[in-house]
Amino acid sequence: MPDAAPGEDTPRALAVTLAIWAAAVALGAADGVFARLGLAVDEALAAFAAVFALATYALDASVRGAVDRVPAALLLVAALVPDAGLALAIQANGAQALVDGPLALLGFFGIPVALVAHAAALLAVARPRLRSRAGRPPGARPAAT
């Protein structure tokens, strides 16, 4: 008798993936990989990371469900802290600051995670409004005569 496939543990898989991604970016930044690639390549990689993170959230229902279960306050922190760090870094040293040294972690990890947090927070705010309109049956309110 074959064993049943183990159940999917999306929150754990998401946490492990994020930890590996953050570690890879941190190691690359510490070794100076991003500084050696050039700004155009770094911008393309950061854009890819942002689009990939948003697409994963949008297209994978289990990932979206796991992110949507995160408390709203934590989502706001995950969204606003990288935004503030990005603003401060660019103001101080320009876009080059995001590829030199430890700030590469912000550009290649923090901003894509922040974009997903922004999307999740916006959907959390919009969802009750969408449900309240769509949840009413057609006969719930009499027609005006």
Give residue 66's pLDDT band: very low, low, confident or very high (50, 70, 90).
Answer: very high
State the number of CA atoms in the 13 A half-sphere of 48 facing the CB: 6
So what's the pLDDT on residue 59?
Answer: 94
Confidence of residue 93 (pLDDT cuts 50, 70, 90): confident
Q: What is the pLDDT of residue 43?
A: 85
State the average pLDDT for the chain: 83
In this predicted structure, the answer to whether residue 137 has a pLDDT above a threshold of 80 is: no
Please give the radius of gyration of the chain, using alpha carbons only, rounded to the nearest integer.
Answer: 20
Question: pLDDT per residue over 2-21, tens digit each?
Answer: 666 667 788 899 999 999 99
pLDDT at 91: 85
- 93: Cβ–Cβ under 8 A, 6 or more apart, which residues? 100
Task: Please state the rounded mean pLDDT for residues 126-131.
Answer: 64
Give every CB contact of residue 89 below 8 A, 6+ residues apart in sequence: 97, 98, 103, 106
Q: How confident is the model at residue 60, as a pLDDT?
A: 93
Nearest CA among 21, 6, 26 for reference residue 113: 21
**Which among 28-32, 100-104, 141-145 has the top mean pLDDT?**
28-32
Tens digit of pLDDT for each residue in 49-59?
A: 999 999 999 99
Low-confidence winner among 33-42, 65-74, 123-132 (lowest mean pLDDT): 123-132
